[in-house]
Structure 1
Amino acid sequence: MSQLDLSGCKKRKRGERVFKFTMFGERGYPAEFNGSFQENVRALLDFGQVENGVCGAMASWSFHLEVRRHPLMELLMFVVEEPIELSLEVHCKQCHSGWGNHMICNKKYHFMLPSKFGSGENSKSNVNIELYRDQGHSMHGVFHSNGFGHLLCINGSEFGSDLAGYQIMEFWDRLCSGLGARKVSLKDVAEKRGMDLRLLHAVAYSKPWFGHWDYKFGRGSFNINQEMYQSAVKAIRNIPINLLAHQLGFGSSKNETQIVLSRYQVLSSHSLITLGDLFHFMFELRFRLAKENNSKDSHYPGIMSDTSCRWSPKRVEMAIHVVVEALKRAESRWVSRQHVRDVARAYIGDTGLLDFVLKSLGNHIVGKYFVRRCLNPVTKVLEYCLEDISRALPKQEAYPTDHNIEGKLKISWTQLMKDIFCLNKNIFRQKDKRMTNDGILATVHVASQIILDSKYLVKEYCDHEITHNDDDMNKKKVYCALILAYNIVTPYHGFVLKSNATFDELKYEVEKTFRETYFGLSNFVAMSIENIYPHGSDLVFKTVKPDSKIVIKYDQGDINEGLLIGVNDLIVECVCGTKDGDGERMVSCDICQVWQHTRCVEIQDDDEIPIIFICNTCEQELSHLPTNLP
């Protein structure tokens, strides 16, 4: 099992560059990112610190990332290049999310934020991280060399990370965009205090938590398709609260659930009619409430209590607003005190007031922002930066809000979370079979199970790979894929060619790219082009239009097909209708060797798979055999 040995990475090396976490991966930071995926990765690694022996014989790099300056918070990101020759897992088990028919790539690139680097027991010198342990890092993503990848895990503050989950997710999303990733898949098993976020967010926002970064339904388990998923989300969101309350109006959960439902009807400034309305309101309220003490942001009691303050609260609030707006324009970048002062002077003429506010705001919370102040160690100049600390998600479209809601509410953040937990338990995890088999709760039970079974998500970052950022009007693009035994086994790769390029030149570029990218194609020769029969000297763009898709034929010869295809074939024929592996636990019949889901053959998740298993079909055939055989 490959591990990261971080014993040599404890201290920052002399001359090592430190990158800003909130900007890393943007175009031009640190690389220009204007080539193909592999070119962009190589350009990025040129800025990394080479780490010898971090992951055995695999090449590794580290990047020092600064999350904030005061108090200082820095992270290390490791990139490990895994060549297929050193890989313990040749076939990618994550590729069943839509591109399992792709050819195996020559390399994988692992991007990791190892969890919890601090002092003492958890210091870098004491950490060894298994490369193939998916869930052990704050972030672990892997890319194949053709630009297709998988987010294996993110673990936020609830799992000991110094970063919140949304901060890690924004970092990953920015990194994928910068590198020019093609498509990225993930398995959504995110939880909050034991509650399934993909279900709760589907009810509140019609999409999973990862959907706020445009990850969408990729593939369902148990033969669930996108239409079934969308219908389930629509059905569960449109369930009327009054009907739900009526069915829950008996039994031990009556008081608890109905009190919660009525509480938020009172708190809301508009009528909550459906289950979607209720959860959307509760989730939006969750982002507006402070965790413990709910105080009005506009009073700034810490600043106003300063004995040196000789200005009215109204003038101080105005100056604070102007300074915060000036910092917003910097877009999370550090700017000098003088710059902020100059911008604010256009609106606030009292320089004494401005100086007081700039001094008092340093490292204080203003509304949903934290105003950071730090002395630049190089220039010795005070600098300011604005950090949004309220976002647990990207910007949402909220319901119309009452700006005085904090003054009216008699509810804490803790109570709100208890109420969400209560509704989750009594509505979505109802264990009374008499209730879930009939009425509105039966609809909830079926729809919620479909949503929970739709955990494989995909985001398309770039439809076609582009090999150059080309502004030359004399160059044009064409896209090529490889066909093998009547199946297209690669995604389309983009090629930028001169307007007068020949088919011989195109074949040369295709052969070079495919040999570098795919395992088993080291001797690849482009034989012919499907449905086109040009001579090598013919001009490409006299035969096909720019941006056309071309399929290259290849005779595999003696190549082992098992080394070309990403996922091994299984004979799957489950009672739910599934015809191939979907990542769920399965069992194979010892007679016919056909695989089925353990859940579909009533083997509970907590039960071990039996040593001998015979499917219903084979069992019935055996029962018809004569019992008096000689």
Structure 2
Amino acid sequence: MMSHLDLIGNKKRKKGERIFRFKSFGEPGYPVDFVGPFRENVKALLEFGHLESSSSSCREMPSSWSFLLELHRHPPVQILLFVIEEPVEASLNPQCKHCQYVGWGHHMICNKKYHFVLPSKDTAGAAYLNCKGNGAGPANIGGKSNFVESQGHLMHGVFHSNGFGHLLRVNGVEMGSDLAGHHIMDFWDRLCTGLRARNVSLNDISQKRGMELRLLHGVAYGESWFSRWGYRFGRGTFCVTQPMHQKAIEAVQGIPLCLLIHHLGANSNHDIPIIFSRYQALSDHSLINLGDLFNFMLELKARLPKENGLETYNPGILVETTCRWSPKRVEMATRVIIEALKRAEFRWVSRQEVRDAARAYIGDTGLLDFVLKSLGNHIVGNYLVRRSLNPVTKVLEYCLEDVSHVLPSNHQEGFVVTNPKVKARYKITRAQLMKDILNLYKCILKDHQKPVGNILSSSIPVPVAARIILDSKYLIKEYCGELPLKVELGFQGKLNLYSTVLLRSNDEEGTTASDKAMPPYECVTLKNNATIDELKREVQANFREIYWGLRSLVVESVLNLNARGTDLVFGLVEVGRKLVFEGSSEEHRQIYECGPNSNNNIDCACGAKEDDGERMVSCDICEVLQHTRCVGIPNNEEIPHIFLCNRCEQEIVLLPNSLP
């Protein structure tokens, strides 16, 4: 990676300016101890940043700071972290669509957002050109070169001033980055933890060589790639719920490999059985179902050296020094069993039939049992010896399959599999491993319209289950959640309380707003001799600072607490008491993330009543919104100029009959 030092702010920077270690940034005490609530921790962090632009003269313009982060000391490689403070007035749309999609539409709009951006070489260069052209730097949110909205950043996360946030993008090696995705995620996780973010969401659309990672990792591990950092199912699109997601994962994971061999064999798909055999030979335990296979392959990928390979040939009985039979006798028994299977003309036969046929030539039944057990799903010469439990009769069956057309051209038929030259043909590289993973993914999980998918769908709901997993892409991690609801007597005689506000409705005097008007609890710090009036003023100031709709908040009373304004707080509030303050605000604008009249016109056949970020189409008569997928409009097709929902179509059809 080239240093970004020469791209932005080079002339402005002081000689010897502090450079922070990328791998430690955000840890406790580095660069500062984060001891307060989120908004205070951000302010403390920005004290260590280089001010790129300031909005002090204009409240409606964003400010930005940058930090130099060292990736490597020798050779010196640094990147920049930008923190951009975006006032709500600078936003083209005050409502946050990401909050709406993840189910936080009931949250109040905050006064500020903080964008944390690791630019790539390309986006950093664009920011430099933009800065040179108008002097606004990367904080020029509405400018021609929209730095914040660029899709090419290594990382872009945004926090609302109440501590809720969204990780918008991570571009690792797969997208041309010199930083691996897991290093970027480690950095982001340290930031969220250190700053004491509340809840953070992300939209898991990550891919690896065209494979959706939420599907691949879901089958292999039962959870997303992001789960290693604690992100779990938050909200599904198309009304997918967490129990539906879990059942879909279990359904696909539990598909028996023996059933897949039967189905895929019927379609003459020779590659898949060979892949099964290849990795069963490498594994030291039985791979029973699809989850076992994908799990083993991904774990093997993590251990496999980049340049070297592993031998897929499992010597098993043929070279085992403790084997009681000589290699010559084992080879003879193998040849006899193969010939017996050849006479079966490649049909499935029971283990007992094979054993009985071979006993005419090999009298040692122990040797036959030993070889039969070890040959299953192994390649011998030009043949794959397939072994499977018949799902109907529950009897173990064998079948011989000619795979010479998919083996190396120089492969010679024979049974002396201890030959080093033969073993060398079955060495696996990372490239081969990824090719096999991609083959399995496409054939079993992705290509549902092909015969494989159709056959499986009659007994195993692979297409439906895979679709549910793919629709489970909004993940959430709770970092701090609600602040601890307790009273703490801090240092220097300071008292920490946690409070929220119940906003009195502006619509009708004497009524209160719904529960969605109550924001999360915030920490309020007071002297231990503070009065109730001082507490109300402090709560009022805190919530005015955080929320757009509470800028004119007037705190009137403390619910369920009978006290005069001059009473001391410390003598009235016991440990663990929740404090809810009732107040009013003169703001008449839409103050919630969901926007005005949100979701009133969403009524989809899948059950969706809220915007989940998926493409929708509006009926030209009733204006009800539905998912394009649910009404049969493929994603690769444009929305028709005129669209009628089923209900309106039916009413039009019945209309002539209703006329006199």
The TM-score by the shorter chain falls in which range? 0.7 to 0.9
**What is the aligned counterpart of 1:487 among 483, 500, 515?**
515
Question: How far off is 1:546 after superposition?
Answer: 2.2
What's the Cα RMSD here? 3.2
Structure 2 CA distance for aligned equivalents of residues 107 and 126 of structure 1? 23
Contact 1:36 1:466 in 2 (8 A): no
**Aligned twin of 2:74:** 70
**Aligned twin of 2:466:** 448
The 3 A distance-change label for structure 1 pair 451 and 470 is farther
Contact 2:444 2:453 in 1 (8 A): no
Structure 2 matches for 1:95-110, cutoff 5 A?
95-96=99-100, 97-110=102-115
**What is the aligned counterpart of 1:529 among 558, 574, 580?**
558
1:416 matched to 2:445: no
Question: How far off is 1:162 after superposition?
Answer: 1.6
**What is the aligned counterpart of 1:261 among 251, 276, 280?**
276
Structure 2 matches for 1:9-28, cutoff 5 A?
9-10=9-10, 13-28=14-29
Structure 2 CA distance for aligned equivalents of residues 180 and 38 of structure 1? 9
Structure 2 CA distance for aligned equivalents of residues 533 and 239 of structure 1? 63
Question: How far off is 1:115 after superposition?
Answer: 1.0
Contact 2:489 2:496 in 1 (8 A): no
Residues 471-528 of structure 1, C-alpha deviations (whole Å, 9 max, x = no match): 5496554322223312233112123445554432321221111011111322211123
**2:48 alignment partner, SS class:** coil
TM-score by length of 2: 0.72
Structure 2 CA distance for aligned equivalents of residues 15 and 82 of structure 1? 29
Structure 2 matches for 1:297-446, cutoff 5 A?
410-432=427-449, 435-439=452-456, 442-446=460-464
Residues 27-77 of structure 1, C-alpha deviations (whole Å, 9 max, x = no match): 110011111111111111111111138999421111000011122211011
Contact 1:116 1:162 in 2 (8 A): no
**Aligned twin of 1:237:** 253
Residues 274-328 of structure 1, C-alpha deviations (whole Å, 9 max, x = no match): 21111111111001112223499xxxxxxxxxxxxxxxxxxxxxxxxxxxxxxxx
**Aligned twin of 1:39:** 40
**Aligned twin of 1:197:** 213
Contact 1:117 1:124 in 2 (8 A): no
Q: Which moved more, 1:476-485 or 1:195-204?
A: 476-485
Structure 2 CA distance for aligned equivalents of residues 411 and 123 of structure 1? 45
Contact 1:219 1:457 in 2 (8 A): yes
Structure 1 CA distance for aligned equivalents of residues 585 and 234 of structure 2? 30
Report the identity percentage: 52
**1:198 alignment partner, SS class:** helix
Structure 1 CA distance for aligned equivalents of residues 585 and 602 of structure 2? 27
**Aligned twin of 2:306:** 291
Contact 1:7 1:126 in 2 (8 A): no
Question: How far off is 1:188 after superposition?
Answer: 0.4
Q: Which moved more, 1:185-194 or 1:499-508?
A: 499-508
Contact 1:148 1:183 in 2 (8 A): yes
For 2:41, give the aligned amino acid. Answer: N
Contact 2:32 2:45 in 1 (8 A): yes
Q: How many residues align?
A: 515
For 2:53, give the aligned amino acid. Answer: N
Contact 1:116 1:160 in 2 (8 A): no
Residues 9-39 of structure 1, C-alpha deviations (whole Å, 9 max, x = no match): 2465423210000000011100111111111
The 3 A distance-change label for structure 1 pair 221 and 628 is closer
Question: How far off is 1:594 after superposition?
Answer: 1.4
**Aligned twin of 2:178:** 162
Contact 2:99 2:593 in 1 (8 A): no
1:460 matched to 2:482: no
Contact 2:82 2:118 in 1 (8 A): yes
**Aligned twin of 2:602:** 572
Structure 1 CA distance for aligned equivalents of residues 449 and 66 of structure 2? 52
The 3 A distance-change label for structure 1 pair 439 and 426 is closer
Structure 2 CA distance for aligned equivalents of residues 53 and 544 of structure 1? 42
Instruction: Give ranges in structure 2 of 5+ residues lacking alignment.
Output: 132-137, 139-144, 312-422, 504-512
Question: How far off is 1:122 after superposition?
Answer: 8.4
Contact 2:87 2:111 in 1 (8 A): yes
The 3 A distance-change label for structure 1 pair 574 and 628 is closer
**Aligned twin of 2:91:** 87
**Aligned twin of 1:365:** none
State the structure with more CA Rg: 2
For 2:433, give the aligned amino acid. Answer: L
Structure 1 CA distance for aligned equivalents of residues 489 and 439 of structure 2? 56
**What is the aligned counterpart of 2:627 among 583, 597, 601?**
597
**Aligned twin of 1:246:** 262
Structure 1 CA distance for aligned equivalents of residues 298 and 129 of structure 2? 41
**Aligned twin of 2:648:** 618
**What is the aligned counterpart of 1:606 among 636, 653, 657?**
636
**Aligned twin of 1:214:** 230
Q: Which moved more, 1:540-549 or 1:521-530?
A: 540-549
Question: How far off is 1:444 after superposition?
Answer: 1.8
For 2:622, give the aligned amino acid. Answer: C
Structure 1 CA distance for aligned equivalents of residues 7 and 297 of structure 2? 46
For 1:293, give the aligned amino acid. Answer: N
Contact 1:16 1:49 in 2 (8 A): no
Contact 2:556 2:583 in 1 (8 A): yes
Contact 2:46 2:65 in 1 (8 A): yes
Structure 2 CA distance for aligned equivalents of residues 523 and 123 of structure 1? 37
Structure 1 CA distance for aligned equivalents of residues 201 and 79 of structure 2? 25
Q: Which moved more, 1:438-447 or 1:216-225?
A: 438-447
For 1:522, give the aligned amino acid. Answer: R
Question: How far off is 1:126 after superposition?
Answer: 8.2
**Aligned twin of 1:142:** 158
Instruction: Give ranges in structure 1 of 5+ residues lacking alignment.
Output: 297-405
Question: How far off is 1:209 after superposition?
Answer: 0.7
For 2:115, give the aligned amino acid. Answer: H
1:516 matched to 2:531: no
For 1:103, give the aligned amino acid. Answer: M
The 3 A distance-change label for structure 1 pair 221 and 455 is same
Q: Which moved more, 1:456-465 or 1:599-608?
A: 456-465
Residues 359-409 of structure 1, C-alpha deviations (whole Å, 9 max, x = no match): xxxxxxxxxxxxxxxxxxxxxxxxxxxxxxxxxxxxxxxxxxxxxxx9998
**2:108 alignment partner, SS class:** coil
Residues 390-444 of structure 1, C-alpha deviations (whole Å, 9 max, x = no match): xxxxxxxxxxxxxxxx999821011000000000000101243654345467422
The 3 A distance-change label for structure 1 pair 285 and 170 is same
Structure 2 CA distance for aligned equivalents of residues 615 and 123 of structure 1? 45
Contact 2:552 2:585 in 1 (8 A): no
**2:194 alignment partner, SS class:** helix
**2:67 alignment partner, SS class:** strand
Contact 2:113 2:158 in 1 (8 A): yes
**1:286 alignment partner, SS class:** helix
**What is the aligned counterpart of 2:241 among 225, 233, 258?**
225
Residues 225-274 of structure 1, C-alpha deviations (whole Å, 9 max, x = no match): 1111112112222222211222222225x111111111111110111112
For 1:421, give the aligned amino acid. Answer: L
The 3 A distance-change label for structure 1 pair 126 and 498 is closer
Contact 1:515 1:522 in 2 (8 A): yes
**1:526 alignment partner, SS class:** strand
**Aligned twin of 1:398:** none
Question: How far off is 1:132 after superposition?
Answer: 4.3
Contact 1:101 1:567 in 2 (8 A): no
Structure 1 CA distance for aligned equivalents of residues 74 and 286 of structure 2? 44
